[in-house]
Amino acid sequence: MSVSVPPIPRTPLARLRWATADGWTITLRGLTHWSREPGTLIGTLVFPVVIVLMFGFFFGGAMQVPGGGSYREFLLPGMFVMTMVFGLGETAAAVAADKNRGITSRFRTLPMAPSAVVLGRAVIDMVSSLLALAVLFDVGLLIGWDVHRGAGKALLAVGLLLLLRFALVWAGIYLGLLMKGPEGITMVQTVEFPVGFLTSAFVAPATMPAWLGTIAEWNPLSSTVLATRQLFGNPGWGGDSWIAQHALLMAVVWPVLLCAIFWPLSVQRFRNLTN
């Protein structure tokens, strides 16, 4: 008995509905994986907490905040950004695993929207990031961090963090589609740390050698760190350089540029997959 294949929608609205429905199906697949294998999600939530406690209590007493203030309040916005960065390797690993096991190729043979696989991956990773931020916010409040400039600016800060994560999701999808083995994923996960540490997340760039401090200030992650410190009203967010003085602007510009680069690259790579 032959199985009829539903026709591909023709109108833009119908195609949007098709992509949204199929993307939601892929998202539900990811949520089901969480329920059956919760270890990955638990690790995602616990690891940033361990880093915060380690830096906040083990090393915090030796840290000096520019202009004075609590190092833990200085640290937390940086850790919010680092949590977004840590998701890069998770995204790449999940996408590479599906690709290398042939699951992605199987999806491409089905009568589903071509964008559904990457769209569903993006949604599930954003949900994971929201949960990680919620846990880290609670931990921060327990150890002395607080929001000092009102709920509106705090929500704007959260929006900037999620915008950065959204951009890194597409970078992770592209890298995952590019990688052919576990060695590549290990390299991506390893690079997260030097890229994340070479920012203003843990120490002020002014305390670094001049050339290294300049690199740290122009690291796209630093703009989000500085912008969120400003919006939360936490100490140590300022700086004299142009990039530091325009942190709010650049916290939007950098993620938009990353999206403009990696979103089309991810779509093109997905369409050209041969494995």
User: Domain residues for 49?
Assistant: 23-57+67-195+232-237+259-271
**Residue 39 domain flag:** yes
In the structure, what pLDDT confidence band is assigned to residue 180 with cuts at 50, 70 and 90?
confident
- b (16+ CB within 10 A) / e for 175-206: bbbbbeeeebbeebeeebeeebbbbbbbbbbb
Contacts 24+ apart (CB under 8 A), 213-219: 214/241, 217/241, 217/243, 217/244, 218/243, 219/195
Token pair, residue 181, equals 């083995």
Task: With a cut of 70, say whether residue 246 has pLDDT above it.
Answer: yes
**Residue 18 domain flag:** no
The pLDDT value given to residue 1: 43
The pLDDT value given to residue 249: 96
Find which of 182-191, 236-245, 253-262 is predicted with most confidence, using mean pLDDT. 253-262
Residues in Cβ contact with 51 at an 8 Å cutoff, skipping those fewer than 6 apart: 79, 82
CA distance 239 to 222: 11
**Residue 73 domain flag:** yes
Task: With a cut of 50, say whether residue 2 has pLDDT above it.
Answer: no
- 55 vs 220, higher pLDDT: 220
Average pLDDT over residues 243-261: 95
Question: Total domain count for the chain?
Answer: 1
Average pLDDT over residues 24-37: 82
**Residue 180 domain flag:** yes
**Residue 11 domain flag:** no
**Residue 14 domain flag:** no
Predicted TM-score of the model (pTM): 0.87
Token pair, residue 212, equals 């290294």
In the structure, what pLDDT confidence band is assigned to residue 29 with cuts at 50, 70 and 90?
confident
Cβ distance 83 to 135 under 8 Å? Answer: no
200: left (phi over 0), alpha (psi -120 to 50) or beta: alpha
Q: Of 77, 71, 84, 99, give the one whose Cα is nearest residue 44.
A: 84
**Residue 94 domain flag:** yes
- The mean pLDDT of the chain is 84
**Residue 223 domain flag:** no
The number of C-alpha atoms within 13 Å of 240 and in the hemisphere containing its C-beta is 3
Per-residue pLDDT tens over the stretch 67-122: 778 888 999 999 999 999 988 888 888 888 888 888 777 777 777 777 777 888 88
The pLDDT value given to residue 256: 97
Which single residue is written with the structure tokens 């998202």? 27
DSSP 8-state class, residue 11: S
